[in-house]
Amino acid sequence: GAPRASPLEKVLTDLGINFTAMIFLGFLTYQEWNGESVRSQAKEEGALIARLPVQVNLNGKDVDVKLSDLRNGRQLLPRRPVICIGNEQFCLDCIDASQKVGEAMARCDFLLIPVLSTTNGRTAISEAAKGKSFVALPKDSEDWQLLQEIQLAQVKSQGLDEATGQAIIVKKNGRVGTRFLGVPDWNSLTQEVDARVQIGLDTDNI
């Protein structure tokens, strides 16, 4: 005779299970894709930051280098670049605040890089950076503009105030350590590095 049909309740249950499984597998696929996307973006950003050109004071002489030259394992003294992006006043505030702990900035290998988001202020920034070994000036490059566009897009996507200056701390190994809005608290940053040195923790990869 003809096969007996499954009870409606069982069919609906099976459909529900299958639908739930589809959603779960779809979620896992999205998570995997999203993770790959984030890793890809981080890799691209890392490559971009590595090739950013700056003029840094080395032993009293201004030298043009790329940020990748300042990583651990390279010939030059490894540094911790802190890229500060904003208008003239923001960049000047970052330099002024760093000057108050200048000795600690140099000791902890921090390198402040003020990046103007406007066309005005270059002369003032250059004057403020003079004589400070812990301040490097960005060299003309489309890569700096690209970095600013990426950072601005991230700020907008998070609903934050795009008019506020941004800071990106790059570790000695070349990876982005953290990013935030506003003038960096140089005192806290240098104290953290000093504390790690005192208790024997790793400082080569931070």
Joined together, the tokens standing for residue 45 give 């950003």
Mean pLDDT of 5-26: 57
Mean pLDDT for the stretch of residues 69-84:
90
The dihedrals phi and psi of 171, each to the nearest 5 degrees, come to: -70, 165
- Measured CA to CA, the distance from residue 187 to residue 97 in angstroms comes to 9
Look at residue 90 in the predicted model and tell me its pLDDT. Answer: 96
Place of tokens 């006043």: 89
pLDDT value of residue 35: 57
Please give the C-alpha separations between residue 201 and each of 173, 176, 193, 204, 206, in angstroms, as whole numbers. 16, 19, 9, 9, 10
Residues facing residue 85 across a β-bridge: 115, 166
Compute the distance between CA of residue 69 and CA of residue 84 in angstroms, rounded to an integer. 19
Measured CA to CA, the distance from residue 170 to residue 56 in angstroms comes to: 16
54 vs 159: which has the higher pLDDT: 54
Q: Are 176 and 170 in contact (CB under 8 A)?
A: yes
CA–CA distance, 163 with 102 (Å, rounded to integer): 27
Question: Does residue 104 surpass a pLDDT of 50?
Answer: yes
Tokens read off for 155: 């700020």
User: According to the model, what pLDDT value does residue 27 have?
Assistant: 58
DSSP H or E run through 127: helix 122-129
> For position 157, what pLDDT does the model report?
83
- Distance from the Cα of residue 49 to its chain's centroid: 9
Q: 100 and 186 in contact (C-beta within 8 Å)?
A: yes
Structural contact between residues 114 and 135, judged by C-beta atoms closer than 8 angstroms:
yes
DSSP state of 2: P
Q: In the structure, what pLDDT confidence band is assigned to residue 108 with cuts at 50, 70 and 90? A: very high
Q: Which amino acid is at 144?
A: W
For residue 7, pLDDT beyond 90:
no
Is residue 11 very low, low, confident or very high in pLDDT (cuts 50, 70, 90)? very low
Residue 12 pLDDT more than 50?
A: no
Arithmetic mean of pLDDT, 169-184 = 93
* Residue 77 confidence class, pLDDT cut points 50, 70, 90: confident
pLDDT greater than 80 at residue 29? no
Check residues 168 and 7 and name the one with the higher pLDDT.
168
* Dihedral Cα 16, 22, 23, 24, nearest 10 deg: 110
pLDDT, position 30: 54
The predicted pLDDT at position 58 comes to 87
Beta bridge partners of 125: none
47 phi and psi, to 5 degrees?
Answer: -65, -40
Judged by average pLDDT, the poorest of 8-22, 26-40, 181-195 is: 8-22
